[in-house]
Each structure stands twice: as structure tokens, then as C-alpha cells.
Structure 1
Amino acid sequence: MRKLTNLLAITLLGSCATAFAQNEETLTSAEESAEIYASGYEKFRFGGYGEMAASYMDYQWNRLTPYGSAKKSRGSISIPRFIVAFDYKFSPTWILGAEIEFEYGGTGMARELEWYSEGGEYEMEVEKGGEVALEQFHITKLIHKSFNIRAGHIIVPVGLTNAHHEPINFFGVYRPEGETTILPSTWHENGIAFFGTIGKFDYEAMLVAGLDPLGFRNTEWIASGKQGAFEIDNFTSPAVAGRINYSGVKGLRVGASAYFNRSSKNASKPQRTSGYNFDVTVLTADAQYKTKNLTARANVVYGNLSNSEKLSQINQGSTGSSGYPRTQVGKNAISYAAETGYNVGSFFNDNAPRIYPFVRYEYYNPMEKTQGKVLADKRMQISMWTAGVNYYALPNLVIKADYSNRRVGGGNYNSENMISVGIAYIGWFLTK
């Protein structure tokens, strides 16, 4: 299955040039207007996106030593994501949308290593790697430009990366690390959403399945709390989320999103969290400015978890065979980043290849602030610079290369360096 998935992804990547030459339209983001979502096809369309990446690193997996990650040369190659997308119109106003996501070649045929801190000590788990997930499966009812309804398995557009997660919407080989460390990515849940456009504003508001607090941990904050370990999600305490974008200035898009969930009632073992409120609040803001040759983006994510000290105590009481993290959890998590790139091909002529040198800065910390006796682990504090180049061989096919440097714990631990190359595509291959 894993080899078949890899072969299929590579075959589509190699054969998509004709489709891109005919159709430069990208997949629609979660909060795009009803007109955009329904345009470009009469009955159905089939497409997707994918990424392949290879990296060289000078550090080991284990960051949780007195000195940080030990120096070791190693390399990796993978298919981080391969997504198949399909939209079908039952009628002009009733639309079925679906996306199936293959992460790292599929599921069940590989094994992965996970590192985390258990009681101040380093532990590594070996478990099944890869994933096949239903990223989206929903029915949309188009009612009016200003108000429409979508129900099913939907994207939670909290944060810039979740709202615009397709690989041509960020410069680096890999997704921005800060957001994807502290928030689920791509974040998708069962629920219902209301969306539309009012003047220069696009909005989306939703009620979705909440998080399982027993999955929260020191290295990922709430990112590992997404439900899905069982066949049916707990909907006892659903989450509310929303996003709004303003596009009233040419080339500029400004957005904000929010999320709230009283997560304790969604615990997969509710007897362990009974009597406590583990409320999750996430607030984000982002902006993108784009001209013919210049692209600049910035975003910030702030999160708060109530009673994080008590949840840390509950985690540390888990047994080794439980499958749950046994780590402490931060009260506040934060991530902020900015990136900019410029098309140097424009210095030659309008027909020159689009080549974007870029630079990105990120800061993130899933334990920015802790509660009570919980000690913040400084090795969770990361400042990261990434510089590289994106070459657009076709409008929707990009070849990427970059170098990144992580400064750990304010420079008090060993730094981490990585060189990466990758190729990514996105598009609709067949429409009718």
C-alpha cells in the first residue's frame, strides 16, 4: 500500500504539466466566497495537491539532553502529503466536496519515532507511521453571497497555515513550523459551518468536535489533542471557531481567527478529567501583501489553557502502556512569524521564469508560560531563520530549496541546522 501510494503520487506529479498549462486555478480555501467555490466547472472536478521533500540535518532526534540535540549528520526523504480532491454538484446550489489525505506514504506499513519529555527525562516511542485521513467530506448549500451552510468534515481555519495550507501558499519546503507545532495541521473536524462575503469581508463561523485534553503535551501543546483515535468523535462539548478576512485594499488580505473549547468533557477517559475545566482559547491574526512580484506574509498565534497544572498532574499519572502523554503542559503557547519573497525573474523580462528568493523568521514556544509548580522547559523555545528559493516551473508547480537554523532556548542549547529540497503541485486535473 505504501509503495502504491508513493508511485501514484509521483505519477500524478510527473503528469500534471498538461493539466496546469490548461488550468491555473488553485484549490479553494475554507473561507472563500460561494461564487469562487462554485465556479470553474459545471458538474464535477477532480484534482489535488502533493509534496515531496528531502533534507540533510546535523542533529539527532533527542533535543531533551542537558545540551540540546547532539550533533549527528543524517538525511531523510519523504512524501509529507498527497491529497486527492473531488467536488460534485448535485445541483447548482448543492455541492459535495471531499479530500483524502495520505501523509508520509500512507498508514500501517511504516513506523515512526516520537520524542518527548517524561518527568524531565527523554523518552522515544516507536509506533505506526504515516496516515490516511479524510481531510474533508461535506455538503455545501449555497444560499446567498452573504450566507451559506456547510456540514460534514470541514477545515478549521484557525491560523494562517490551516486557512491556506496548500503548498504554494508558503515559501519553505515544509509548512511554517511554529503554527504546526502548537496547533493541529491540517486541522479538520466534524461539524457545521456558516460562511459568506459581506462587502470586503469574508467570514466563516463553525461548531465542530472539540479536543481531547489527554492528548496535550509539552512539545506540541494542543496539536496532539485532536480526536480521531476512535471511530466516533466525542461531541459532548463542541468547540466554536471562526475566521474573518478583509480584502479592501488591492493586494492586501488581513485576517483573524479564534477558537474556544471546554475540552475536559471530550476526554477519552472522562473519569480522569471530571470536575475540572480545561478550557482552550486560541486567538490569531495574519496578513498577506501580494503584488505582481512581491509577496509578504506575517502571522501570530496565542493560546491559553486553563488548569494546565492539574492537567500536567493527570498526564504524569498515566501508565506507560496507556498510550497517553505523560508530560507536563504549558498554560500559554505562542507562535509568530514573517516571510517575504521577491520574483527576481522580473529583472529580466515578463517571460522570464518566476524565481522567488525568500527569507522567513519564526518564534514559537508551546510552554511560553506555565502554571503553579510546572516548570517551563527552555528547550521548547525556538527561534528559527529560514532562507531559500522557490522556482515556479509552472504556475502551480514549484521546486523549493532552503536552509534553516533553529536557536534553542535562547542560544543556551545546541543549534540545529537543516538543508531541504522539495517539489510541490496543486491543481484541478479534470473538470466537467
Structure 2
Amino acid sequence: MKSILFFLLIVTFPALSSAQTPVSDTSQLFSLSKLSLSAYGSMVYQHFNWQTFRDKNNSIDNERLVIEPEYAFTKRLFLEIEIEFEHGGTGVTMEFDNEEEFGEFEIDVEKGGEVQLEELQLSYQINSHFSLKAGRIPVPVGLVTSNFMPVDYFSTTYNSVESVLLPTKWYENGLGLEFLFGGNNQFHGEILLVNGLDASGFSSANWVRNGYQLKFETVSADNFAFVSRLDYRLPNSLSIIGLSAYYGNSAGNRPKPDMEGPAFVGFYDAHAELFLNALTLRSLVLFGTLTHADEVSEANRNLSNNLNAKRTPVGSASLGYYLEAGYNILSFFPAKKSILNVFSGFYYYDTMAAVTGDVFDNPRWQRNEVRAGLQYIFNNQVSAKADYAHRWLGIPEDNIEDTYTIGFGFQF
């Protein structure tokens, strides 16, 4: 592993060094004309009618506001930053309460959301076919990694398959090579080396998703992962078909060295997005594997309560797939610049598709879902959505979860 890191650093450093140009006047280090800004956000209201949780409150969620500044140092060297405010952001205040007997200081959580530096990526364009990137970079597994803005997906929220099985909008720290080849650059590929997941966050309901390292000030980097992706763009079209893979150990990134063996996580997906005039089709099959899942389950069972981990048994494999279709009914009126997609989809995901050792294969985590709704897009920047999701679980009774959602989003 050390030799691989050394090789990538040797490859990356000369490219970045050659991109630097001498600057004699420090006042010219920053130019507003080289700075661009984009943003997107979304908000939803959800009404729940779940047999599994009959008292579940309806909710309004300021899902996310994302600010994306980008700075061009040169024509080839770029810095991309993404700052995300989730669920309205977060805030803590301290105040002195003099109404108590002797007075006391109180700390109040004013807002329970999150503020995250999602992306911090330095990119260098070697030529028209190859580019290097380093920093906190996107992990290109699945379709959400490229379809994350509100106009890019039909439903009010990201599809359940990727939201449950993968870290949503997945970024890790590392190095990457991006390349284009073929006639008209129809093939697009990526190869990455990034820090691995933390097995202490794995659980029954969400498999390895919560192994995404966000809890601590620093990211554990004793284990790394390899990621690859290859997409083929159909001729004279925006349609793509592709494959992606992720493989890396997660045992060494646990907060404490409480596992002797490895815990290798693998993800393998095949995906397609087809634009057929007014009809849009999206489909994905995602299969995941985890070695020594029974040992991970045992180690997680003994975690401290202070870590706020689920400590539930973990499956040795996961499986998910979906197919969704949307049709723009405003295509019958060519003068209309807006889009109104009527869509529906089927989604299947099982976070305990296989188990090892004495881990119980809980049918509760085998989930089927159908969803249907409307997506209105104005000026390719503002979207309003409404949908209904009907989900049924693998257990025999009280297994229905119905969710009604409306929402809106924007991007610029």
C-alpha cells in the first residue's frame, strides 16, 4: 500500500508543480473573474402512514443547501469546494440562567442539522483525455453520484436503493485519475485510491452506509479502498450505460483495534440512464459484499454507548436494484419550455441478503417499494415534486409503510 501511495504522489506532484506560474505581484494571486459560484437546495414535507411505526410524526425537512465555489488558478488547474448545510444547519449556544438558585450556565442545541465540507478537490487537466484530482473527492459508485441536483432525479428524495446501501453523495479523501477515450470521447472512466470505511458504523438496517467517516475531527486512514468506473455514452446522445466497483478493508479504520481479521467491503454495480425523446429510463443493480461480517457484528456488539453506533448484526452481502421511468407529457406541446414528468419506479433492497456465522437473517430488512409521482421543471433550474411511496417488508405482519411527499428544489 505504501508503494502505491508513493507512486501516485510521484505521478501527481510534477503535474501540479508544472501548473504553477511565477507571480511577482501578490495582488494578482486572486482574481474575481476566475471565481465561479453555483448552488442547489431542496425542501420536503412528508406524511407517514407506517404500520411499523404508527406514531411516526409527519415532518418538514430543509434537506440541503449546497454552495459550490470553484476557482481557476490556470486554464488547467482548478479548486472545487462544496459546503453543505443539511436539515437547516446546526448551532449551539451558551447562556447564563440566573433564575436558578445560584445561577448556572446552560448549553442549548439551537439546530440539530449538519454543516459539512463535502468536497475539497484540486483538479489538473493534463490534456483533453486525462485529468488528475486530489483532496476530498466524489466516489463514483451508482447514479446519485452524477444525478444529485433536484432536476436530475424524478422523486422528491434520492432513490431508496442508493440512499440505504451507499453513503448518500459519497466523498472520500484520496487521489484519482479521470480519462476519456474512443470516438468522440464516448468512454469515460475513473480510477481512485481513497480512505476506507469504518466498520464500527455498519448495521442491520443500513449495512455499511454509516461506516462513512463523519463523527470525528480526523478521518482514519489505516485502510484504503480502490474505486473504478467506466461509462459508455451512446452515439449522438446523453444516454449512458456503465459499471463501477469499490473494494477496500474497513477493520483498521475502527476507533479502537478491536478486530484481529480484515473486513473487506466490496460494491459492484451496473447502471444505465437512457433518454429516448420524451421518455427517460434509469436502472441500477448494486451488489455488496463484506468479509468476516460475523466478526464485525461481534466487535460492534461490544462498542461503547458513547460512540452512538447501532451495534446490530451485519449481513455479509447486500443486494439492491431499481427501474424507474418518466415521461414528459408537455412534449405534446412543443412551444412549452417547461417539463412535466409523470414517473413511476420499482425498488428492491436487502441489507442482509446473506449472513455468516450465527448472524440471524432478519426478513425485516428485505424491502420492496413502488413509487409514483410528478416532477415539474421550470427553466431547468427550479423543480416542484409530489410522489407516493408504498413499501412492504419481508416480515409477515405490520409490514406496510406508505409515505406521501411534496417538495421543491432549485439549482443555478
Q: With structure 2 as the length reference, what TM-score do the two structures score?
A: 0.84
Residue in structure 2 matched with residue 56 of structure 1 by the alignment? 47
Q: 1:291 to 1:411 in 2, by over 3 A?
A: farther
Given candidates 253, 256, 259, the residue that maps to 2:246 is: 259
Q: Decide whether the 8 Å contact of 1:360 with 1:386 is kept in 2.
A: yes
Residue in structure 2 matched with residue 297 of structure 1 by the alignment? 282
Give unmatched runs, 5+ long, in structure 1.
Answer: 1-40, 60-67, 111-125, 428-432
Residue in structure 2 matched with residue 163 of structure 1 by the alignment? 146
Residue in structure 2 matched with residue 359 of structure 1 by the alignment? 344
Question: CA deviation digits over 1:81-105, x for unaligned, max 9?
Answer: 1100011111101111111011101
SS in 2 for 1:371: coil
State the one-letter code of the partner of 1:269: K
The alpha carbon displacement at 1:410 in A equals 6.1
Q: Decide whether the 8 Å contact of 1:246 with 1:255 is kept in 2.
A: yes
Q: Does 1:415 align with 2:406?
A: no
Residue in structure 2 matched with residue 44 of structure 1 by the alignment? 35
Residue in structure 1 matched with residue 169 of structure 2 by the alignment? 186
Residue in structure 1 matched with residue 272 of structure 2 by the alignment? 287
SS in 1 for 2:262: coil
Given candidates 211, 214, 222, the residue that maps to 2:208 is: 222
Given candidates 308, 311, 316, the residue that maps to 1:323 is: 308
State the one-letter code of the partner of 2:306: S
Mapped to 1, the partners of 2:63 and 2:164 lie a distance apart of 15
Mapped to 2, the partners of 1:109 and 1:284 lie a distance apart of 41
Matches within 5 A, 1:41-120: 43-59=34-50, 69-72=52-55, 74-108=57-91
The alpha carbon displacement at 1:167 in A equals 2.1
Given candidates 349, 354, 372, the residue that maps to 2:357 is: 372
The alpha carbon displacement at 1:412 in A equals 4.2
SS in 2 for 1:276: coil
Q: Decide whether the 8 Å contact of 1:58 with 1:74 is kept in 2.
A: no
**Which protein shows a greater Rg?**
2
SS in 1 for 2:252: helix
Q: 1:227 to 1:347 in 2, by over 3 A?
A: same
What is the root-mean-square deviation of aligned Cα atoms in Å?
2.1
Residue in structure 1 matched with residue 386 of structure 2 by the alignment? 401
Given candidates 310, 320, 341, the residue that maps to 2:326 is: 341
| More moved, 382-391 vs 317-326 | 317-326
Question: CA deviation digits over 1:14-46, x for unaligned, max 9?
Answer: xxxxxxxxxxxxxxxxxxxxxxxxxxx962211
Question: CA deviation digits over 1:289-325, x for unaligned, max 9?
Answer: 1133111100011100000011111111224334333
SS in 1 for 2:405: strand
Give unmatched runs, 5+ long, in structure 2.
Answer: 1-31, 94-108
The alpha carbon displacement at 1:165 in A equals 1.9
| More moved, 219-228 vs 41-50 | 41-50
Q: Decide whether the 8 Å contact of 2:142 with 2:271 is kept in 1.
A: yes
Mapped to 1, the partners of 2:328 and 2:364 lie a distance apart of 36
Residue in structure 2 matched with residue 151 of structure 1 by the alignment? 134
Mapped to 2, the partners of 1:279 and 1:206 lie a distance apart of 17
The alpha carbon displacement at 1:170 in A equals 1.1
Question: CA deviation digits over 1:43-87, x for unaligned, max 9?
Answer: 22111111010011112xxxxxxxx61434741111111100011
Identity of paired residues, percent?
32
Aligned length: 362
Residue in structure 1 matched with residue 119 of structure 2 by the alignment? 136
Q: Decide whether the 8 Å contact of 1:84 with 1:99 is kept in 2.
A: yes
Residue in structure 2 matched with residue 385 of structure 1 by the alignment? 370
Q: With structure 1 as the length reference, what TM-score do the two structures score?
A: 0.80
Question: CA deviation digits over 1:369-425, x for unaligned, max 9?
Answer: 111211111111110000000111221211000001001116644201111111111
Q: Decide whether the 8 Å contact of 1:42 with 1:89 is kept in 2.
A: no
Mapped to 1, the partners of 2:127 and 2:136 lie a distance apart of 22
Q: Decide whether the 8 Å contact of 2:204 with 2:315 is kept in 1.
A: yes
Mapped to 2, the partners of 1:369 and 1:253 lie a distance apart of 31
Q: 1:228 to 1:74 in 2, by over 3 A?
A: closer
Mapped to 2, the partners of 1:222 and 1:319 lie a distance apart of 19
Q: Decide whether the 8 Å contact of 2:281 with 2:325 is kept in 1.
A: yes
Mapped to 2, the partners of 1:180 and 1:70 lie a distance apart of 20
Structure 1 runs (4+) greater than 4 angstroms displaced? none
Q: Decide whether the 8 Å contact of 1:156 with 1:163 is kept in 2.
A: no
Residue in structure 2 matched with residue 309 of structure 1 by the alignment? 294
Q: Decide whether the 8 Å contact of 1:382 with 1:410 is kept in 2.
A: no
Mapped to 2, the partners of 1:296 and 1:169 lie a distance apart of 12
Q: Decide whether the 8 Å contact of 2:269 with 2:287 is kept in 1.
A: yes
SS in 2 for 1:168: helix
Question: CA deviation digits over 1:88-125, x for unaligned, max 9?
Answer: 11110111111101110112459xxxxxxxxxxxxxxx
Q: Decide whether the 8 Å contact of 1:383 with 1:410 is kept in 2.
A: no
SS in 2 for 1:345: helix
Question: CA deviation digits over 1:203-255, x for unaligned, max 9?
Answer: 11111111111111111111000112222212222111111110033432002
